[in-house]
Amino acid sequence: MNRTPQGRFLCNYTLYTALHALAYADRRISCRLHPPPYLPSMVASHGLEEPSMDLSMIVRAAELALWARPRRLGSSGGKAKAPP
């Protein structure tokens, strides 16, 4: 996706701030950034040729991404159910 320089800056700043805080606190957990796509209305109103996705699908994708994150061994035996 072709995001604005300001948007890329904010995403990178957020990610690297979180990574720094985790390293400083000696927390060994993963940290990822999943920038959401544009909403169809945003693409249509600005005449962009960018991918878009309905808000309910973006929310569902975020839920699945959080569910699928790496788990500590033994926490659920790796057999947790997917969210409904």
Confidence (pTM): 0.58
Task: Express each pLDDT in 2-54 by its tens digit.
Answer: 567 777 788 888 889 988 998 888 887 777 777 788 899 988 888 878 889 99
User: What is the DSSP code string of 26-81?
Assistant: T--------PPPBPHHHHHHHT----B--HHHHHHHHHHHHHTS---TTSSTT-PP
CA angle 28-32-38, nearest 5°? 165
